[in-house]
């Protein structure tokens, strides 16, 4: 298992390779950022960013979306996956914001998670990326990288991955570490073809060393 010191070292090296790692979701308000995160489930940020300008212009506030017709919303987001469910969640989420939070996106995970369509990961992304409140959202990339680098046990569930990462890294590094691990997973240590031969983390990575022994070209 990677020590606290080596975990921090790995995150530092990721930061040197990707100094500008940050969310690519585009939004102008906390409400729109929350919607963008809901829309991004199992879809690329690029696909979300393509449709959000028109979608946000049509629904500038929680009140406007709370009163929207589902068919109108679906027509604006039907280029992405799960658009029917996302439509339902976003409208009921907007209704929840209006009726229970005066139309203001709450700043706590527990309150965010009372909104339809907002799970722990979505809440953590909103807290960290929009409000800059330390949180560690574990998505597929973070989960994979944490395991490949043996930062967490191989069989750890998502909540354990989050807790171990938070325990091994200082809170002021959580937001940056999350962003760097996502970039690392997208561009260096991809699910199917990790670039182990050129990886600056190879020295710290037992998984990478094992892969190179098995297949020196990987």
Residue ranges that bind ligand SF4, judged by CB under 6 A: 148-149, 188-189, 194-196, 199, 201-202, 205, 207-208
Which residues contribute to the annotated binding site for [4Fe-4S] cluster? 189, 196, 199, 205
Which residue's CB is nearer to ligand SF4, number 93 or number 189? 189
Annotated active-site positions, please? 121, 139
Distances (CA, A) of 68 to 89, 90, 144: 12, 10, 38
- The CB-of-79 to ligand SF4 minimum distance in angstroms stands at 32
Number of CB atoms found within 10 A of residue 57's CB: 9
Q: Cβ(183)–Cβ(14) under 8 Å? A: yes
Q: How far is the CB of 35 from ligand SF4 (least distance, A)?
A: 33
Could you give the CA distance from residue 180 to residue 7 in angstroms, rounded to a whole number? 13
Q: Which residues are annotated as a binding site?
A: 189, 196, 199, 205
Residue 129 or 207: which CB sits closer to ligand SF4? 207
Q: How far apart are the first and last CA of the chain?
A: 23
| Smaller CB separation from ligand SF4, 177 or 196 | 196
Identify the CA nearest to 169 among candidates 16, 5, 2, 15. 5
Chain position whose Cβ is nearest to ligand SF4: 208
């Amino acid at each position: 298992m990677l020590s606290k010191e080596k975990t921090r070292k790995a995150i530092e090296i990721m930061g040197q390779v990707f100094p500008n790692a940050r969310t690519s979701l585009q939004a102008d308000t906390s409400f729109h950022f929350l919607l963008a995160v809901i829309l991004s489930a199992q879809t690329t940020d690029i696909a979300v960013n393509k449709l959000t300008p028109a979608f946000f212009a049509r629904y500038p506030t929680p009140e406007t979306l709370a009163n929207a017709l589902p068919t109108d919303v679906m027509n604006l987001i039907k280029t992405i996956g799960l658009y029917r469910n996302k439509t339902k969640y976003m409208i009921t989420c907007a209704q929840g914001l209006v009726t229970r939070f005066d139309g203001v996106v709450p700043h706590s995970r527990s309150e965010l998670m009372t909104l339809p369509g907002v799970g722990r990961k979505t809440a953590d992304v909103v807290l960290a990326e929009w409000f800059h409140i330390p949180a560690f959202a574990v998505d597929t990339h973070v989960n994979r990288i944490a395991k490949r680098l043996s930062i967490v046990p191989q069989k750890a569930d998502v909540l354990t991955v989050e807790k171990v990462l938070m325990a091994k890294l200082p809170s002021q590094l959580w937001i940056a570490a999350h962003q760097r691990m996502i970039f690392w997973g997208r561009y260096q240590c991809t699910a199917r073809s990790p670039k182990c031969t050129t990886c600056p983390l190879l020295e710290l990575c037992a998984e990478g060393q094992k892969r190179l022994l098995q297949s020196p070209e990987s």
